[in-house]
Structure 1
Amino acid sequence: MKYSVRTFLRLKQCLQFIALWVTAFFFYVFISYSIIDDSYFLNQQLTTADFLVSELSRALSTGVFMGFVFYLLQEYIYPRFFHGYGILMASLLQSLLFIMVCYIVFIIVLQLSKVHYIRINNLIALRFNAKWLTCFTIYCLIVHLFITLVQAFRQRLGGNYCKSLLHGNYMSPVIEYRIFMFLDMYPSRTIAEVEHYQYSHLLQECFIDLSEIVTEQNAEVYQYVNDGVILTWKVKQGFERKQCIALYTIFSSRLLEKKDLYQKKFGLVPKFKASINEGLVTVAEIGQIKTEIAYHGDVLSTTASVRDLCRDQGNLLITQAFFKQLSFLEQDNFTEIETTVLRGKKRPVVIYKSNG
C-alpha cells in the first residue's frame, strides 16, 4: 500500500515526538533509581533488575501515550488556538492544556478500570500520592515546554539550518553543489494597489501554502526576500531534479485552487515566477551578533538575473546547467529561448522556458 508524502511526514513526526517522550521518561526512571536507597529494595523484596524492568515498561507505555497526545495537539489543536501568541506565551499555554488533557484521559482510564471495563495491569501506574503527583506534573510541564520551544525555534529557523548550527558544519567555509530557485510574486498593478498591511497578510497566506510543498519536495528555505523566497536543494547521489519543477507546478496549482478565497480576501489571485540554476557554491556560517548560514557564488547572481527575465519570457525559466541534468522526457517540457547576456555578466547564458 502506497502512502502519500504528507502521510509519511506526519507519521515520522509522530514517531519523533513519541521517541522524545519515551526518552524523557526513561531519564526520569534513572533519576528516580539514583536517589532510591538500597533499603527500599529490601523492603519491597525487589532486585534492581526487576525494579528497572518494571519502571522502564511503565515509562515506555506512558511515553508512547504522552507522545501520541502531544502529536495530536500539535497537529490539530495548537495551530488553531495559539497561532497569534508569541513563542513563550504559546508554549506555556500549550503545556497547561497538554497536562489537562493527559490527566483527563488518565482519570477516564482509572474509572473504566474500577468498573472492570478495561484492565490496566502494570502498564500505567497511577500513584495518588500528592508529593509524587506534584513532582511528576512539574517534570511533564518542563519536558513539554522544552520540546515545544525546540519545535517552535526549529520551525522558524528551519530543520536543516538548526542541524547545521548544532553540528558546526559550516564554521569553516565548505564547497557544495546545490540547486537554487528564486520564487517571486509577479508584480502587477492590482498588487501595487494593495495596502501594505493587507499585502503582508497576502504573503503570509501564500507562504503558508508553500511551506508544506517545500517539505514534500525536500527543499530548504534559504531566505525570504521582499515578496519572494530563495529555495535550495543539496545535490546528492540519486537526487531527482523533477522535485524542483514539481514544487513550482504544485504551488501554482495550489494558488489556482484557492483563487476564490484569495479573490474574496485580498481582491486578487497571486501568481509567482521562478528561475532555477545549479552549480558549486561556498557555504559558510557568518556573523557574531546574529549568525546566518550564507551561500556565495556566481550561481545565485545568475539565478537572480534569470528571474528578472520571467516577465518577458515565461513564468518558469531554467538555465542550461539545470536543463542538461534533466531526463529526455523532462527536457521535452522546456523550450530554448535566445541566448542572453545577463545583467552584470560577460558570457552569454542559454535559458529554457517551461512549455506549461
Structure 2
Amino acid sequence: MAISLFLLIFAAVMNRIALLVVSFMTSLMVCAQAIYDPKCITMMDAPLEGTDSAFIPALKSVGFVPVENDDEEEGTYHFTGDFYGIKDARLEVTVNDKTKLLSEATVTCGPYRTRELYERNQKYLLGKLQREWGNFKAKGDGSLYILTEYGYIRQSVTLHENGAHSISYYYLNMAPYYKDASNMGLKGFVQEVITENPVAENPIEHFDETGKIESAELTERKYNQVGYLISATTTEGGEKKLIAYEYNDEGNLKRTIQTNTVSGLKLVTEYKWNDDGEMVQQSQKAFDKTNECIMSVTMKYDIQERDDNDNWTKTNLHITNWLKGQRAQTMEVVQTRTISYWDED
C-alpha cells in the first residue's frame, strides 16, 4: 500500500515536471521566433511590421496573447497582455488590405475609475516611452505624439460617460518592410533610382511599395522574418552564383559573399556606414578556388548633395583598384542620381 502510494506521488511529480519542461520549451520556441528589427517602429522591442506570420510571434514574445473575436473585421487582429508592466492591456493590429502587411496598432489601458490610478499610469507610461523614443509633443486636441525615423506614436486619453479614463497608444508603421532599398543606403519608400555613371549598381533600379527590389537577376530569394534578404542566386554567362547577406546590429548590410558554383571564384564585399545610416565605403575582394586574393576594389563615397529624404543625389566616388600582378590604380567618378518615392505628392 505504501509502495503504491509512493508510485502515485512519484508519477504525479514527474508529470508536473514534464508539463513545466514542455511549457518552458514552448516559451523558448516563441521567443526564438521573434527577431528584433532596428529599422522599424517597435513596441517593447517587438517589430510592428510584416504579415501575421511575423508580427504574431513577435507580439507573443513580449507577452501578448491573441484573442478570438466573433465580430473581428478582416485584416484586424486582437491581443491582450501587459504593456510595459500595465496588466490587461488590449491591443488591436490592422494590416493593409493590399499588401497584408501590418500598417498600424493601438494599445489601450483602462478604463480607470479613479483619477489617481489613471494619472499614475498615464505618467508612468509616458515616462517609459519618452525614455525609449524621446520627448513627445502636444497636439491641439490634447494628445501627445512623436515622429521617429520609422514611424509615428500618439498618446490619447478617452473620458467615458461614467467618468473613467482610458489611455491609448497608437503606432503607425512608416518604413518599408523589405530592406532591399536600405541595403543600398536608401531611406524611405523608394520607387525608382536612376544613376548616372553607375559603378557598383545598375543604371536603373525599381522597388515595389513594400521595399522589395524588382529584379529578374536575383532569383531564389530568401528573406528573414523582418524583411532582410539573407540569400539569393544570380546567373551570369550560364554560371550560377550563390549570394549570402550579413548585417550588423544596426540592420545595415555588413557583408555579401558571392560564390560561383562552377569556377569556385568568390567575391566578398564589405560595407561601412556612418552614424546617420549612410553607406560611406564598399570594399570588394575576389578569391580564386585556392582562396588566393586576385583582385580588390575599394570605393569611398564623398557625398556632395542630398534630397529632402536625406538620400544623396550627388557624390564623388573615389576608387582604388588592384589586380594580381599589377600596380594599384586610382580614379574618381562623379555620380548623380534621381530618386522618386511612392509616397511623394
TM normalised by structure 2 equals: 0.27
Which structure has greater strand proportion?
A: 2
Structure with the greater relative contact order (CA < 8 A, sep ≥ 6): 1 or 2? 1
